[in-house]
Amino acid sequence: MRFFDTHTHLDYLAESLNLSISTLVENAQKYQVEKILVVSVFAKNFEKVTACANEKPENIVYGLGLHPLYIQEHCLSDLDLLENALSLKDPQCTAIGEIGLEKAVAKVSSPELWKKQCSFLEAQLSFAQKFKLPVNLHSRKSHDQLFVFLKKAQLSKNGVVHGFAGSYEQAKRFVDLGYKIGVGGTITYQRANKTREAIRKLPLNSLLLETDSPDMPVFGFQGQPNRPERLIEIFSSLCQLRHESPTVIAETIWQNSEGLFS
């Protein structure tokens, strides 16, 4: 079996653990995690994310984007920096992300900042269309609003709603629009009934696996930085929820991931 961790912040994980990118990749490979997507959150970490991929180009690809949680810190010139970076058309840059909408945190959801979030999302979706790149999407308490933006954008490459935590009906709307659903540590918690049921019922060809390292810890590792090798724990939980064999699940999700982000 082989796995593709489709959402990480490997630059932050390396800093928090004081480990090299090469060591993190080698640790992941011991658990058959062969490929990793690293996404950015600020313009100021574009260079670090790019450097991660340059260090292990056979294993790492990257995405550039401006995260909605930090909308207060983003400025219009950051959009220019993003467009300029994307215009280089680095083959290792295979996504625009992490982008999206955030309504779970009050300080970034005021009417003024929500308007700014929406403006930045629209701009980055237009970059996705211009450069023919898929999007890696953040959405917390904003699935319905995000759906409207995605339906309007009609991207040629679509993308994934990462770290999905919601109902089957919400997920199915994204899937029907052509988007993948990112399956993360949430499903390793028995109490996450709604999300687990959604992931059980969705078509297998709509699913990707991710850790969101160093965030979104899996059950049993709470309080510890998450790591790409723990993708195997998420896979194990997924196998318990699905009717397909582990081999079919692993190979289908590998093909889903490769098709979108390679």
Cβ contact 62:39 at 8 Å = yes
123/106 Cα distance (integer angstroms) = 23
202: left (phi over 0), alpha (psi -120 to 50) or beta: beta
What is the rounded end-to-end Cα distance, in angstroms, of the chain?
Answer: 18
**Is 212 annotated among the ligand-binding residues?**
yes
Cβ contact 99:137 at 8 Å = yes
Cβ contact 50:60 at 8 Å = no
Cβ contact 93:61 at 8 Å = yes
**Is 67 annotated among the ligand-binding residues?**
no
Q: Is 219 exposed, middle or buried (0-12, 13-18, 19+ CB in 10 A)?
A: middle
Q: Is 134 exposed, middle or buried (0-12, 13-18, 19+ CB in 10 A)?
A: buried
**Is 98 annotated among the ligand-binding residues?**
yes
**Is 55 annotated among the ligand-binding residues?**
no
**Is 162 annotated among the ligand-binding residues?**
yes
Q: To the nearest 10°, report the CA torsion of 140, 145, 146, 152.
A: 180
Cα separation values, 130 from 49, 250, 258, Å: 21, 32, 21
Pick out the residues of the known binding site for a divalent metal cation: 7, 9, 98, 138, 162, 212
Pick out the residues of the known binding site: 7, 9, 98, 138, 162, 212
